[in-house]
Structure 1
Amino acid sequence: MLSLSVTSEIFPLVKTGGLGDVTGALPKALASFGVSTRTLVPGYSNIRRLIKDQPPLLVFEDLLGEWAALYAVSVHGLDLFVLDAPQLFDRPGGPYVDEHGQDHPDNWKRFAVLSLAAAEIAVGSLPGWVPDVVHTHDWQTALTSVYLRHMDCETPVVLTIHNIAFQGQFSAALLPLIGLPATVMSTDCMEYYGDISYLKGGLTTSNMITAVSPTYAREILSPRFGMGMEGVLNQRKHILRGIVNGIDSEIWNPATDPHLFTRFDQKTIGLKRLNKTDLQNQFGLDNDDGPLFAAITRITWQKGMDMLAEAASEIIEGGGKLIVLGQGDKALEQTLVETAQRYPGRMAVKIGYDEETAHRIHGGADSVIQPSRFEPCGLTQLYALRYGCVPVVSRTGGLAETIIDANDAAMSAKAATGFQFDPVNTDGLRHALRRALEAYASPRHWRRLQLQAMRAHYSWERSAEQYAALYNMLTHRRSPARSKPVRSLHS
């Protein structure tokens, strides 16, 4: 089976969060189930270097008024289609924001062009390669299915929601500029409070919708977590599935991780303390026997970083230390930095993100904290489990799905892997931190938690099998003959 995955980011080439990790790992895992995936990605500056001196497979003279070319490249075990439209994607900053942290003003066009290119590939514009199924991710590529339906193409589309808070909402005045008819400006397609929403367009035209955990799939049907899309999702809940994300167990493996000071596994977990010492030296923290907590996260309200700033004193007064790695809201960044300044030798904050430091934190910290107010899946806690880094998490979304709370029953059953807290507020977080500090005070209990965490199995194998089953179901449902001839919007 041939699958076309369409995404705005993919690890290790471009990543701002879990989306990139998923789109980088899932194609490899799907191969074991007979699915061959090509991933369409924008030609950002670093990706354009991969196609240097190569001939294009296809040239688009007019994609919404823009010239673009399509290239094929294989790198890091991934088969990619690269959409080279330098005027849209080869620019300073990140995938969505400029070098000053502001949204690119033409994001509406950049990701409409990417989606339209995907639709053109799906209808056969590329000789010799036509996918059996298309898999889109979040609002940035959700327009693909809208374009396909207006090309009278029945190729099934799966849309995965990684975070429904981001919806691609733009002025309805842009509708003529993205090449779609006025009929999509309706409540059963793209109309959203007088604007257009790319995500809503995808939700209303895809054949299957997945969320990145079963709990999140249930949560987004409610006003609290649906972010205004709960009505649309309830109308389509018969095609909504929750499939928990996995992790790339080759990249995230403490026994082979090249970023660690000392590698270890379940049998040699005692070596983890050497990584802890190295990590504390790197961040200028005291080298004592107190527990080392860490947060590797976007620094935002969603991630509960304001609560962590308030609860940091619980860790410090309990004899612990804290490292925060991440970036996001400037005011919250400053709050965390100022908090760390009050606790020299006990708390450190590094604004920014890099993979090597993230690996070293997992390898050396005793516990990772994720106090998210909502969390579709979360991957940090899964990486932490792999490294015997006991998670402290809020009871929401994928965090509730993947971490077993260290209550008395779970500890007696030798099943506990971390600490959950609810209600999701500062008091709840403080209570969970106190529980973690108490557990750490008993080396025997803490070691048991670490080993139980490391035994948890969250590779992509089971999740990929579920996606492959969805693909097969959708392609078998597809009628052998199309009701209408497929046409390009530009034919």
Structure 2
Amino acid sequence: MNILFAATELAPYAKTGGLADVLAALPAALRGRGHSVACVLPLFRSIRDTLADLRPTDLVLHAPLGEGRHSARIWEGRTDRDVRLFLVEKDEFFDRTYLYGRPGEDYADNASRFFFFSKIIPLLARHVRPAPEILHLHDWHTGLVPVFVRSARLPYRTVFTIHNLAYQGVFWGLDFPLTNLPAEYFTPEGIEFHQHINCLKAAIVFADRLTTVSPHYAQEIQTPEFGCGLDAVLRERKYKLSGILNGADYSRWDPSRDPLLPMPYSENSLGAKQISKDRLAKQVGWEPFRAPLFCMISRLTEQKGIQLLLDVAPELRKEGDHLVVLGEGDPGWEEKLRDLARAFPENIVVHIGFDEAFAHLLLAASDFLLMPSLFEPCGLTQLYALRYGTLPIARETGGLADTILPWDPATGRGTGFLFSSPTSAAFFEAIQKARTVYQNLPCLETMRREAMRQEFSWDRSAAAYEELYRGMLA
């Protein structure tokens, strides 16, 4: 099959979250299964600065944007996994420091930026050879593509993947002329939602198939609690919605062959985790210790349950446990975490930013990964943690519920610790269960080995998408 992916992130060139990891891995996995696959992204400044194999083509595409007419040159390159890549060059829109705006705020012209990008995608598809049969679109930035395909009666099947329903691409109704669509599209049956343009709703209504990134999340988003206002729209279209679990990239996240660790290890050499813990302690300025080490590797947003972490962290410190937080996001949460680390420097370290090498060392060194998410469409960090024998303590939601087997005290089996209620009391109770297991070395090692044997490869995810594509083409 011939598939053209369209998104705004692709690791390691343009990344703010898990979307970038999906676009790095899924097209490569499908290409490995014999399909013709290409990706199209905006030519962001970060891509221009980091992608070595990049060259301009002679192809210049033109699209209206309201009363104006804009053009974009297409660049071509290949990713580090040898996937063909097309980049849409329009410096006025994309040559900026941030992808969407400074942390916590959006660029004022995001409607123009991503409406234009969405118009270029089907225009580019006409020039790609072999001609794509399927346009696989990701998140709200490409949400208008199925509308443009439908309105122009173009010969493409569209798949739209919802990575996080909370981010919908909502703009004033006054921006509707920028779409250049007929007026009948700005209705409750079309892309209008409470007098605004809603790009995610547009994709839900007009795409041929909808997917999201875990089976559990596909069910959750059809409820008022998790539907972010779109639950009724999704329930009406549940016939075309499916949940396909994201995968883990074991070529990068495997402790048995990880060059970023002081000593690689497997389920048969778990003692080497302590070597990583000693290295980490030295790196952050602690003396070597044998107490439990908890970590959190996350975007720092309300969704990730940062308040729950702030609530329980003083109790961890009282018990003599250690905590390391790695991430960046909302400046308010960043400052609260910095205050916490300043208050308890002998037990708590907060590293603002993202450091790939430090993330690998931290996962290998830690005993437990904290993921108290209020909601979690899939989550990738828990998949990596399982392979490193680092047991997740997580809220039972979305992909966390699909990938973590809760500890059973009767049998001592499980791969992590789940809690249901989004409260600090429930979170701390799960932490106490983990501490109980930590004090029982045979049980701890049994759980670690079972966690490391879990298999969430991208090849399995690619096979599920393959089946979905075949059904569409049939």
TM-score above 0.5: yes
Structure 1 partner of 2:154: 153
Q: CA deviation at 1:154?
A: 3.8
Q: Gapped runs of 5+ residues in structure 2?
A: none
Q: Is the 8 A contact 1:404 1:410 kept in 2?
A: no
Q: 2: distance between equivalents of 1:342 and 1:46?
A: 36
Q: Is the 8 A contact 1:286 1:346 kept in 2?
A: no
> Normalised by the size of structure 1, how large is the TM-score?
0.92
Structure 1 partner of 2:438: 440
Secondary structure of 1:464 counterpart: helix
Q: Is the 8 A contact 2:294 2:322 kept in 1?
A: yes
Q: 1: distance between equivalents of 2:259 and 2:203?
A: 40
Q: 2: distance between equivalents of 1:410 and 1:136?
A: 44
Q: Per the alignment, do residues 294 and 118 of structure 1 end up closer, same or farther by CA in structure 2, a change over 3 Å counting?
A: same
Structure 2 partner of 1:89: 94
Q: CA deviation at 1:51?
A: 7.5
Q: Is the 8 A contact 2:111 2:171 kept in 1?
A: yes
Q: Is the 8 A contact 2:133 2:155 kept in 1?
A: no
The answer to whether the aligner puts 1:233 opposite 2:234 as a matched pair is yes
Q: 1: distance between equivalents of 2:380 and 2:24?
A: 13
Q: 1: distance between equivalents of 2:196 and 2:288?
A: 55
1:24-64 deviation line (CA, Å, top 9, x unaligned): 10011112433221010110113225488834151024453
Q: Per the alignment, do residues 421 and 127 of structure 1 end up closer, same or farther by CA in structure 2, a change over 3 Å counting?
A: closer
The answer to whether the aligner puts 1:112 opposite 2:115 as a matched pair is yes
Secondary structure of 1:465 counterpart: helix
Q: CA deviation at 1:194?
A: 0.6
Q: 1: distance between equivalents of 2:378 and 2:2?
A: 27
Structure 2 partner of 1:76: 80
Secondary structure of 1:228 counterpart: coil
Secondary structure of 1:83 counterpart: strand
Q: 2: distance between equivalents of 1:80 and 1:421?
A: 41
Structure 1 partner of 2:106: 103
Q: Is the 8 A contact 1:386 1:456 kept in 2?
A: yes
1:456-471 map, 5 Å? 456-471=454-469
Q: Gapped runs of 5+ residues in structure 1?
A: 477-491
Q: CA deviation at 1:420?
A: 0.4
Partner amino acid for 1:265? S
The answer to whether the aligner puts 1:67 opposite 2:71 as a matched pair is yes
Q: 2: distance between equivalents of 1:342 and 1:53?
A: 47
1:307-353 deviation line (CA, Å, top 9, x unaligned): 10110123222221000111122222222221222212100111111
Q: 1: distance between equivalents of 2:201 and 2:45?
A: 30
Q: 2: distance between equivalents of 1:437 and 1:313?
A: 15
Q: 2: distance between equivalents of 1:163 and 1:352?
A: 22
1:444-490 deviation line (CA, Å, top 9, x unaligned): 111111111100101112111000111111111xxxxxxxxxxxxxx
Q: 2: distance between equivalents of 1:332 and 1:54?
A: 40
Secondary structure of 1:223 counterpart: coil
Q: Per the alignment, do residues 129 and 354 of structure 1 end up closer, same or farther by CA in structure 2, a change over 3 Å counting?
A: same
The answer to whether the aligner puts 1:39 opposite 2:39 as a matched pair is yes
Structure 2 partner of 1:319: 320
Secondary structure of 1:349 counterpart: strand
Q: Is the 8 A contact 2:138 2:161 kept in 1?
A: yes
Structure 2 partner of 1:253: 254
Deviates more, 1:425-434 or 1:181-190: 181-190
Secondary structure of 1:264 counterpart: coil
Partner amino acid for 1:109? S
1:193-243 deviation line (CA, Å, top 9, x unaligned): 110101111110001100110000000000000000101101100001011
Q: Is the 8 A contact 1:285 1:348 kept in 2?
A: no
1:64-213 map, 5 Å? 64=65, 65-77=69-81, 78-92=83-97, 94-98=98-102, 102-122=105-125, 124=126, 126=127, 128-213=129-214
Partner amino acid for 2:20? G
1:217-366 map, 5 Å? 217-366=218-367
Q: Is the 8 A contact 1:314 1:433 kept in 2?
A: no
Secondary structure of 1:56 counterpart: strand
* Root mean square deviation of aligned Cα: 1.6
Partner amino acid for 1:343? F
Q: Per the alignment, do residues 53 and 143 of structure 1 end up closer, same or farther by CA in structure 2, a change over 3 Å counting?
A: closer
Q: 1: distance between equivalents of 2:434 and 2:64?
A: 55
Q: 2: distance between equivalents of 1:180 and 1:286?
A: 64
Q: CA deviation at 1:102?
A: 2.8
Q: 1: distance between equivalents of 2:411 and 2:13?
A: 40
1:151-192 deviation line (CA, Å, top 9, x unaligned): 112411111111000000001111111222211111111111
Q: 2: distance between equivalents of 1:19 and 1:87?
A: 24
Q: 2: distance between equivalents of 1:435 and 1:161?
A: 34
Partner amino acid for 1:422? S
Q: 1: distance between equivalents of 2:180 and 2:170?
A: 17
Q: 1: distance between equivalents of 2:84 and 2:247?
A: 20
Secondary structure of 1:258 counterpart: coil
1:119-165 deviation line (CA, Å, top 9, x unaligned): 1123x2x1644201010011011111111111112411111111000
Partner amino acid for 2:118? S
Partner amino acid for 2:286? L
Q: 2: distance between equivalents of 1:424 and 1:392?
A: 13
The answer to whether the aligner puts 1:27 opposite 2:27 as a matched pair is yes
Q: 2: distance between equivalents of 1:393 and 1:357?
A: 22
Q: 2: distance between equivalents of 1:331 and 1:62?
A: 40
Q: Is the 8 A contact 1:35 1:468 kept in 2?
A: no
Partner amino acid for 1:7? A
Q: Is the 8 A contact 1:121 1:130 kept in 2?
A: no
Q: 1: distance between equivalents of 2:120 and 2:408?
A: 51
Deviates more, 1:10-19 or 1:310-319: 310-319
Q: 2: distance between equivalents of 1:75 and 1:195?
A: 37
